[in-house]
Structure 1
Amino acid sequence: MKKFSFLLILLSLILIVAACVQQGGESESEGEGGSEGEANVENSEGEGIYTVGIDTTYPPFEFQKSGEYQGIDVELIKAIAENQGFEIQFRPMDFIGIIPALEEGELDLAIAGMSITEERKEVLDFSDPYFDAGLALVTTKDNTEINSLEDLDGKIIAVKSGTTGSKFVGENREKYGYRIAYFDDSPSMFLEVANGHAQALVEDYPVIAYAITTRNLELKTVEERLTGEQYGIAVLKGKHGELLEKINEGLQQLRDDGTYEEIVTKYIKS
């Protein structure tokens, strides 16, 4: 009798353990399915958080102060996102790395004082223009020899890599006879000219005008508009079409209600 009772108890334990194992396997399977579902919530149209590429060495459009991102581009894309009901997160990087990051899917969009060009349109789709820029020729305040591109023969001109300024000076090097020094950021380029290691630089006019005013740089512009570029917000070509529509709609609404003008005049006095 005791032996029979012992067998019953043993059998019951085996059945309980088997049931637990089966239930645990089902729970684990459900857990894996749930994790896979969560992983699929990426930056598809209308879902998730969009990653925005910016270059924080580019005031007044993007810079970092007291640990916070500030500038025209930063405030503008924040206002557009709020207006259109989507979320963003910023990813700062050197300007030259922004287009490759868009191509690799590391960024969803970029707002980085990026000029709209036919070359860039081969790989990017742009929003409606949000700022009229153009390139300026810059030298030191005490320089009386350089008044135009024609005065640069045999001299060194500094420029930021990967920009429309870089493309412009490269295309015109033989015509004007200067040498080119390339830099990854604007402050290093400004310093190169201020210290006399380069005799001139090319930079977007609003950027250098802001820098000269706010940082008391010993620099001056000698030709304010070498070109007439416009800035646009970029996404990878053929991707995020719905997002680009929202950006354009939000940008227009900000223009209409005066928010755009408030943001720009906060950093660039008219």
Structure 2
Amino acid sequence: MTITPRLLASSAVLALSAGFLSACGSDAESTVASDCEPIAEVETVEEGVLTAAVAEFPPYIGAQGGKPTGIDGELLTEIAEQLCLELDLQVTSFPAITSALESGRADLSAGSWTINEERQEKFEVSDPVYLSLLSVVSADGWSTVDELEGKRVGTTTGYLWVDDVQQILGADALRLYESEQAVYDDLKAGRLDAGLFTEGAVAYYMDSDGNPEGLENEVIEADDRIEMTVNEPATGVLIRKGATDLLDAVNTVVAEMQTSGTLEELLTGAGISSESVVLPE
């Protein structure tokens, strides 16, 4: 699995990229009912179509048969349905998503995008959808940084927590990997005592292979020495700049799914703790 941009400290992942690939064309016959009444009238890149650019990042977002899957996939489907628009899912790379939004080739993107100032300057960004939490995976159920001292600990390079954890454990004590999958593989093989992950991603790995090693996935306890455990990062939907009518509609749908408990069901159903749930203000 490639490193994702949602929690990365490096701005390199926002570099523009070619290769905007379509997984589901909009030329097919519309499936929107003729008597559908939208919750709002919005302007989109293509009339009657909601163009969503996404990259595979289960359990948050994926594609199967041209349709979105995962937590954010359900959100995109609901947005399109409530706006009476055909959903055109464009599956591509993370850098290509930002390029497509900036150039006006896509309307929006969902998939655990962390809300930060840089993205709020470049795009319209929805209200928080859910939190993206840091978790510790180990055979012993550790949930604090102090429990990791003197242990073999691994994590993925580039994440926001890396510098803080290195300050606590020591730069040489934290092994850095190019992907969360590589960390998980070494943890299962016994080459690590613990791994630091985005909670949802490792929950997906553990569910996919059945977790035969009996590893435990615990959200790390708040620690003033690790910034993101105190100010937990929220995720949002990225929308092309200036599309404020679409932004308002997305926020309406997000709030409805939060209030109804639908988002909580999707999160916990994917093995993600209820601590990640956000309720509308």
TM superposition score normalised by structure 1: 0.63
For residue 230 of structure 1, the aligned residue among 234, 244, 252 is 234
SS at match of 1:251: helix
SS at match of 2:160: helix
Q: CA deviation at 1:152?
A: 4.6
Q: Distance in 2 between matches of 1:189 and 1:51?
A: 34
- Note if 1:249 corresponds to 2:246: no
Percent identity between matched residues is 24
SS at match of 2:203: helix
In structure 2, list runs of 5 or more residues that go unmatched.
Answer: 1-41, 223-228, 275-281
Which has the larger displacement, 81-90 or 194-203? 194-203
Query: Where is the helix percentage greater, Structure 1 or Structure 2?
Result: 1
Q: Distance in 1 between matches of 2:45 and 2:94?
A: 27
Q: CA deviation at 1:187?
A: 3.4
Partner of 1:136: 135
Partner of 1:45: 43
Q: Is the 2:119–2:125 Cα contact (8 Å) retained in structure 1?
A: no
Q: CA deviation at 1:109?
A: 1.6
1:113-152 correspondence runs (5 A): 113-139=112-138, 141=139, 148-150=144-146, 151-152=148-149
Partner of 1:23: none
Q: Is the 2:154–2:174 Cα contact (8 Å) retained in structure 1?
A: yes
Give the direction of change, closer, same or farther, for the CA distance of 1:198–1:106 in structure 2 (3 Å limit): farther
TM superposition score normalised by structure 2: 0.61
Q: Distance in 2 between matches of 1:247 and 1:268?
A: 25
Q: Is the 1:135–1:225 Cα contact (8 Å) retained in structure 2?
A: no
Partner of 1:220: 216
In structure 1, list runs of 5 or more residues that go unmatched.
Answer: 1-43
1:27-66 correspondence runs (5 A): 45-48=43-46, 49-59=49-59, 61-64=60-63
Q: CA deviation at 1:256?
A: 5.1
Q: Is the 2:53–2:91 Cα contact (8 Å) retained in structure 1?
A: yes
Q: Distance in 1 between matches of 2:55 and 2:194?
A: 23
Q: Is the 2:143–2:219 Cα contact (8 Å) retained in structure 1?
A: yes
1:50-129 correspondence runs (5 A): 50-59=50-59, 61-64=60-63, 69-95=68-94, 98-129=97-128
Q: CA deviation at 1:242?
A: 1.8
Q: Distance in 1 between matches of 2:97 and 2:85?
A: 21
In structure 2, give the amino acid aligned to 1:187.
Q
Q: What is the total number of aligned residue pairs between the two structures?
A: 217
In structure 1, give the amino acid aligned to 2:247.
L
Q: Distance in 1 between matches of 2:110 and 2:67?
A: 16
Q: Distance in 2 between matches of 1:98 and 1:76?
A: 17
RMSD between aligned residues = 3.5
